[in-house]
A and B are shown apart, each in its own frame.
Chain A
Amino acid sequence: MKLIRKRIDKDGSGFVTLYPEELEDMWHVYNLIVKGDHLKATTIRRIQSESSTGSSSSQRLRITLTIVVENIDFDPQAGLLRINGRVTVENPYVKYYCTCTLATETPTFIVSVFTILKLSRSTASILQMNGHHTIDLELNRNFTLIKEEWDVIALERVDESCDVARKADVSAVVCQEGLANLCLLTQHMTIVRQRIETPVPRKRKGSVTNYEKGLVRFYDHVLQAILRHINFDIVKVVILASPGFVKDQIYQYIFDQAIKTDNKPLLEARPKFLLVHCSSGHKHALQEIMQDPATLARLADTKAAREVEALNRFYHMLNHDADRAFYGFKHVMKANERGAIGTLLVTDQLFRCVVRRGSADIATRRKYIELVENVRAIGGTVFVFSSLHVSGEQLNQLTGVAAILTFPVPDIEEEDEAENEANEGVGKSS
């Protein structure tokens, strides 16, 4: 993503103009936009106009709309971001019409705008200023995001997304016999591109032909998927991971086939392949892969790897010194009050004030931002997990917020229990 323009006033309000370049940028935008923001972007609408003679014509126009965001939908698979909201700004690209009928206070200049129609409505109707519109954000087109308040998380997100250096395009094929998941990993996202499931008959006494045939079929499916989904120009590392020897077998099969079919790009990409052990072919085995030193060396300091590491540290702490590891907002907040948080793990979901998922309102977001700022203020580290990564998914399951404390605070749990009991007591008495 490119930062085109940025102007933020002292009070935190302001706008940012961005230029998304790749799918991951959509993910950033998804996390950036919050309900209530203003978004100015271009979109194509079919405009139908009626001339004075009564003949009508319609044309598709790229027009710029400014809307107040009400709802955001994101499909990580396609990287499609749809933003829904009401139009707030009268737009120069849309023709103004004077209709006396609608003139109310200022009859000289009003306005009613010609209808912007979504496709096939035949009669012209009047566009209302507050009409609902949906904008699909497009790659390679500027958009401007206006916020009343740009908070730390949002600003960081802008910086992060525009940092060209931080990029690692990795694809991983996680497999076990009969099952493979082909994933694309970026800085902030893990996308399963294809899930391959091929039944492999098991060896039977005296006959292994079925088994071997099944295996070859499975390897072939994996190879086809790799060829289809992985662009070796972009992807820097292809991780082949599996328990047992499946990865070696697949590796061998792939290059046997490459030689047979004389597939140059594939043969050239040979050094990009990295064989890693993992315990299963399911997607969450990626977490193990991220911990593997071989992967770490190749991926250097990627966000995903750091996240996995932090989460492991948390679990380790929970096991060994449970009073120094807490999760859930209430507990973490209490730890924060005591200034005990050394490392804070939060998922970006909590900052996303989208109607459907995660924290639903600005108040919650503010709450979490406060928490983040507090922790930073006392010198703690904050990891904002991407909920599209496996580690982020797991943290999400774990209420989305967790903390590793610098010193044990055993009374948090006790307090909580006491509170619970009190609550139960209240419940009973009422």
Chain B
Amino acid sequence: MRWWWRDTKWVNGCCSDLLDVMSPKPTADMKSWHRRMGSVNSGLLGGADQGNSKPPASLFPALGPSLTELARPKTQPTGGTSSLAQLRDRMVKTDAGGQPTSNTGTGLGQSMVLSPALTQTKFDLGSGTGPSLSSLAQSSLGQTRRPLASLAAGGGKTGLAGFTSRFPVAASTTVTPPVTALSLSSAVMPHLASPPTTGSSNTVSTGRMTSLGFLEKTKDASTGLSNVAGASAIDATQTLKLGSGIALGADRDSRNLQDCSLAPVNKAGFDTNFKSALPKLIRDDNRARQSATGVDPVSECSAEVKPSILNSPISTTGSPSLSINPVQAPPSSVAVFLFEDIHDPDTDTLQLPSSRSLSNDEPFISSFFPAWLGGTQQHQGFAFDQPSPDDVVSKAQKEAFKEKKAVSASSAQRTFSKPSSSIVASATSPSSKTNSSTLRSPNYVEDDDNFVEVLDDDDTEQMNFDIAGLNLTNTSASGKASAVAQGKQPAVSRPFSAMSSAVNSSQPTPPGSPKLAAARSPGTPKTLTGKKINIEEEYRKRNADKEGLNLVVIGHVDAGKSTLMGHLLFDLGEVNERTMKKYERDSQKIGKSSFAFAWVLDETGEERSRGITMDIAMNKFETTHRKFTLLDAPGHRDFIPKMISGASQADVAVMVVDSTTGEFEAGFEANGQTKEHALLVRSLGVQQLVVAINKLDVMDWSQSRYDDIVGKLSTFLTQAGFRKKNLTFIPVSGLTGENVVKRTHGGVLERWYTGPTLVEQIDLFEPPTRMLDKPFRLGVTDFFKGGIGSTGGISVAGRVDAGHIQVGDQVMVVPGGEFGTVKALEVNDESAKWAVAGDSVLVSLTGLDIVQLSTGSVLCASSYPVPVTSEFIARIVVFDVKVPITSGFSIDLHHQSLNEPAVITKLLAVIDKSTGEIVKKNPRHLSKSSTATVQIKIINRPIPLETFKENKELGRVMLRKGGDTVAAGVVVEILSYAS
């Protein structure tokens, strides 16, 4: 409290004596003010206060300045109008005048008190002698555009705290009173500033959100804005005028006054709304941290506010009269563009925040309300070592794209039916919908012992496992949530294979993504040259023929993976006779003739001479109904990082098990890789598994041995989370090729085995749903100089994790943020014009330096970059570990092809596997097979990472230590952002 009084003094200088005289009384009042402001904030933030009636002290510094500013202009003797005391008294009076201040705490009720108070104040000011706030604002618009802009930026950055830091600038330039008056209506300011200053798109985007948060505060002060905002919810055609409308709002004094005077009348409407919001907020608060509803309170708050504004008769009548004022500068194209986007015709702004997913929430909040967030969670008040406002604003700008996307996604489902009296009702209903769905959120259901993903018996659901994913069934974000509320509309569609038409129509609208056909602009790379290809159509065409799948081959070292696959490729005609002959000859020369087939995949000299696969080998083959990209993983435990890199690209897996006496046991027992590999692929999202019981020829095709192994394995694999029906066992011999592609008739095997051959079984794999409609992502597994076909540039290999790409697209490399243009593409070694999620591609990029790339980089759509982080919260399942995981546990973090040293900095909570409830907070250590949320910090450098909800491929991490996999997990929340 004290400090900002001092601050005021400092700024004011001249009227310090005045202040001093008044200080005793104001202090008391200001305290009450503080409380109110604090609770408003906490209410808006949601979860900040956790239902505690006391506003967090940390909010005070942030709020202080704004209050100072509130008070200050009035202390200025210049206006000679209403003094600070007068003003403040009035506010207090209105407060004391029996407003329904609900002391319960969430503060929204109190915030209501605030706005009428403000209304009154302003009314007074206006009708009295002095210039009204809005006219002041107007004048300031002309005079102090720059400080305003900077103020706006500051506001975007550190919330109110930002104002203080920026304040001296504004103050020194000239018109202090207007500027400060403006800070009262902080949300308006960016708008005021933005239309004339064309370049400041940053400001606009920031201000936009700020306005949501501040709406009820600013509603009277900014009149024009509230009208427009309200109107835009009803009639989207007016949104174009929004920018100008706001600017206009400034000079429409007289209307303001009337408007304001009526505001208290509307109060009743407000209160009811807020009361209805209260319980929700309280409920949300409790979960805000863990269950993705971080922003919901905000959304609800804004949702409540707007309709009530609409309810005001004057504002509704007032809104049509908005037109472009010839005197005012028209809104900049940037402003128009942005505003248009946000108030998209078939959109309602109310859904904006609520339709965002968790991962968005965090950055979202922190970029727009950092002071609040910081104040409540991380740091106290404003720190000068924070990033500059510009940084934050530009980040916010990026966020705006996401937001835009989210809007369009939710748009279809929610629209206001009527613009008039029923609006309050209709406005509350969507929020209650969100809410009801929010309530469902904490269904952390896990049905298996060792790992996590839900596997329902329903066929449609099955393909959908990744969305249900690790049971982070989430609400705030997903279209699913709203769908649930809207009568169980299937959130996710049936498998792709079942219906090629599914791509378009019944394709689910996953969280925050636009419909496929309709809007693909946000997440798609910008195409610079050539014609756009309609990828959905092409994809459907391609799939009509044969669908593509990525198959990883796993198993203990020397189980015969490469040999089996080599033989398979040879039998399918992928390897020609002559090459094979050569391999046989050469392998015989070094006395390893049994490795001939493996040489198809093991190509390096090292691998051949040692007779061991050391890196993923990629190949392709086709079966009757499918096209496969084969990833042959190394089995040796030292090469598990490579295996993870391969498996993270895979949809389905073949596990090869050595059936010979002793060998199976060696692979299956403690130190063998059979178990570890199975757990790893399962954790990496592979659901369908074919187990090839290999080398049975050595065992004389003994059925009892086969059954024995099948028994042992199926127990383990079902425990590991594979469903019985997705598990098949095939007896094979990789060396002889028996039962790989065909079976010898009348052979020994034929006596007891009549099932399908390996290839027949592989052909039955169901392709998973591809994330076609998500923004483009490609995890880089490999890169080298020289483009495809010995052209220039650099080549990048990897699998498209989400979205699609075509020649001519511009893509962004993260981390680094450099851009490159796609010059050529190869899908499965065949040149192509486009590629979609699931394809293994080789991309030739131009305009990019190779030093920008590293293994583990992600290529992504420039409009929707992948966040880069070094600190995040993950939900992990601890494997069979020798030492317990404690805080400070150093690990190797594996994320796609990347492995980086990291530290588990905090053990947040142990979670019950079946219910998802927190069993123990801040545990001392995690023992084996427990599920927990932990905080992880990456030591060396930040890496690109997304939350599991956002992108399931980029949201998975494996934790290893000392050559053992200790845990697998998914990213729940990203804590820090780097670039």
Which of A's residues lie within 8 Å of B, judged by CB?
A: 176, 178, 197, 199, 201-206, 208, 210-212, 214, 243-245, 249, 277-280, 282-285, 287-288, 312, 315-316, 318-319, 322, 327, 390, 393-399, 413
Q: Are B924 and A288 in contact (CB under 8 A)?
A: no
Q: Are A244 and B638 in contact (CB under 8 A)?
A: yes
Q: Are B797 and A204 in contact (CB under 8 A)?
A: yes
CA distance A278 to B638 in the complex (A): 9
How many residues does chain B have at the interface if contact means C-beta atoms less than 8 Å apart?
Answer: 48
From B781, B886, B905, A202 is in contact (CB under 8 Å) with B781
Q: Are B888 and A280 in contact (CB under 8 A)?
A: no
Given contacts A284-B890, A394-B890, contact A319 B882 (CB under 8 A): yes
Complex interface: chain B residues within 8 A of A318 (CB): 883-884, 886, 925
Question: Cβ of B606 < 8 Å from any Cβ of A?
Answer: yes
Q: Are B606 and A398 in contact (CB under 8 A)?
A: no
From A202, A279, A396, A397, B963 is in contact (CB under 8 Å) with A279
Given contacts A199-B783, A280-B899, A288-B962, contact A319 B638 (CB under 8 A): no
Q: Are A282 and B639 in contact (CB under 8 A)?
A: no
Residues from 18 to 32 in B contacting A, C-beta threshold 8 Å: none
- Chain B contact surface mostly: mixed
Please give the distance in Å from B657's CB to the nearest CB on chain A.
23
CA distance A390 to B903 in the complex (A): 12
Give B927-952 as 1s and 0s: 1 = Cβ < 8 Å from A's Cβ atoms: 10000000000000000000000000
Complex interface: chain B residues within 8 A of A390 (CB): 890
For residue A413, which residue of chain B has the nearest CB?
B924
Complex interface: chain A residues within 8 A of B962 (CB): 279, 285, 287-288
Given contacts A288-B962, A318-B925, contact A245 B606 (CB under 8 A): yes
Given contacts A212-B605, A280-B899, A318-B883, contact A202 B888 (CB under 8 A): no
Q: Are A204 and B618 in contact (CB under 8 A)?
A: yes
Given contacts A288-B962, A315-B884, A398-B888, contact A203 B604 (CB under 8 A): yes
Q: Are A394 and B888 in contact (CB under 8 A)?
A: yes
Complex interface: chain A residues within 8 A of B853 (CB): 199
For residue B925, which residue of chain A has the nearest CB?
A318
For residue A315, which residue of chain B has the nearest CB?
B883
Please give the distance in Å from A347's CB to the nearest CB on chain B.
11
Complex interface: chain A residues within 8 A of B619 (CB): 205
Please give the distance in Å from A322's CB to the nearest CB on chain B.
7
* Segment touching A, from B159-167, B374-382, B608-616, B691-699: B608-616
Q: Are A202 and B782 in contact (CB under 8 A)?
A: yes
Q: Are A279 and B882 in contact (CB under 8 A)?
A: no
CA distance A319 to B883 in the complex (A): 6
For residue B604, which residue of chain A has the nearest CB?
A208
Given contacts A397-B888, A398-B886, contact A201 B638 (CB under 8 A): no
For residue B619, which residue of chain A has the nearest CB?
A205
For residue B828, which residue of chain A has the nearest CB?
A205
CA distance A208 to B18 in the complex (A): 82
CA distance A277 to B636 in the complex (A): 13
Q: Given contacts A204-B782, A211-B615, A245-B610, could you give 15 more A-B pairs where the C-beta distance is less than 8 Å? A: A202-B782, A205-B617, A205-B619, A208-B605, A212-B605, A279-B964, A280-B963, A315-B884, A319-B883, A319-B925, A322-B884, A322-B924, A327-B886, A394-B888, A397-B887
Please give the distance in Å from A91's CB to the nearest CB on chain B.
38
Please give the distance in Å from A401's CB to the nearest CB on chain B.
12
Give B854-866 as 1s and 0s: 1 = Cβ < 8 Å from A's Cβ atoms: 1100000000000
Complex interface: chain A residues within 8 A of B927 (CB): 319, 322
Q: Are A203 and B615 in contact (CB under 8 A)?
A: yes
Closest A-B pairs by Cβ, 8 of them: A397-B888, A279-B963, A243-B638, A315-B883, A201-B784, A398-B888, A282-B901, A244-B638
CA distance A325 to B781 in the complex (A): 42
Question: Cβ of B404 < 8 Å from any Cβ of A?
Answer: no
Please give the distance in Å from A355's CB to the nearest CB on chain B.
18
Q: Are B606 and A249 in contact (CB under 8 A)?
A: yes
Q: Are A243 and B963 in contact (CB under 8 A)?
A: yes
Q: Are A201 and B783 in contact (CB under 8 A)?
A: yes
Give B626-669 as 1s and 0s: 1 = Cβ < 8 Å from A's Cβ atoms: 00000000001011010000000000000000000000000000
Complex interface: chain B residues within 8 A of A243 (CB): 638-639, 963
Please give the distance in Å from A148's CB to the nearest CB on chain B.
34
Q: Are A205 and B606 in contact (CB under 8 A)?
A: no
Question: Cβ of B344 < 8 Å from any Cβ of A?
Answer: no
Please give the distance in Å from B607's CB to the nearest CB on chain A.
8
Q: Are A210 and B784 in contact (CB under 8 A)?
A: yes
CA distance A245 to B619 in the complex (A): 24
CA distance A285 to B961 in the complex (A): 9
Complex interface: chain B residues within 8 A of A244 (CB): 614, 636, 638-639
For residue B928, which residue of chain A has the nearest CB?
A319
For residue A178, which residue of chain B has the nearest CB?
B855
Given contacts A282-B892, A318-B886, A322-B925, contact A203 B960 (CB under 8 A): no
Please give the distance in Å from A69's CB to the nearest CB on chain B.
27
Please give the distance in Å from B887's CB to the nearest CB on chain A.
7
Given contacts A201-B783, A288-B962, contact A283 B888 (CB under 8 A): no
Q: Are B616 and A202 in contact (CB under 8 A)?
A: yes
Complex interface: chain A residues within 8 A of B905 (CB): 397
Complex interface: chain A residues within 8 A of B610 (CB): 245
Please give the distance in Å from A86's CB to the nearest CB on chain B.
28
CA distance A393 to B892 in the complex (A): 15
14 contacts across the A-B interface (CB closer than 8 A): A201-B784, A202-B782, A208-B604, A211-B604, A244-B636, A280-B899, A282-B892, A282-B899, A282-B901, A322-B924, A327-B924, A397-B889, A398-B888, A413-B924
Give B873-889 as 1s and 0s: 1 = Cβ < 8 Å from A's Cβ atoms: 00000000111101111
For residue A211, which residue of chain B has the nearest CB?
B604
Q: Are A201 and B888 in contact (CB under 8 A)?
A: no
CA distance A210 to B784 in the complex (A): 8
CA distance A300 to B503 in the complex (A): 66
Complex interface: chain A residues within 8 A of B892 (CB): 279-280, 282
CA distance A394 to B781 in the complex (A): 31
CA distance A249 to B604 in the complex (A): 14
Complex interface: chain A residues within 8 A of B784 (CB): 199, 201, 210, 214
Q: Give the interface centre of A205, A211, A398 by most chain B CB atoms within 10 Å.
A: A205
CA distance A398 to B638 in the complex (A): 28
Question: Cβ of B603 < 8 Å from any Cβ of A?
Answer: yes
Complex interface: chain B residues within 8 A of A249 (CB): 606
CA distance A394 to B886 in the complex (A): 10
Question: Cβ of B89 < 8 Å from any Cβ of A?
Answer: no
CA distance A201 to B798 in the complex (A): 12
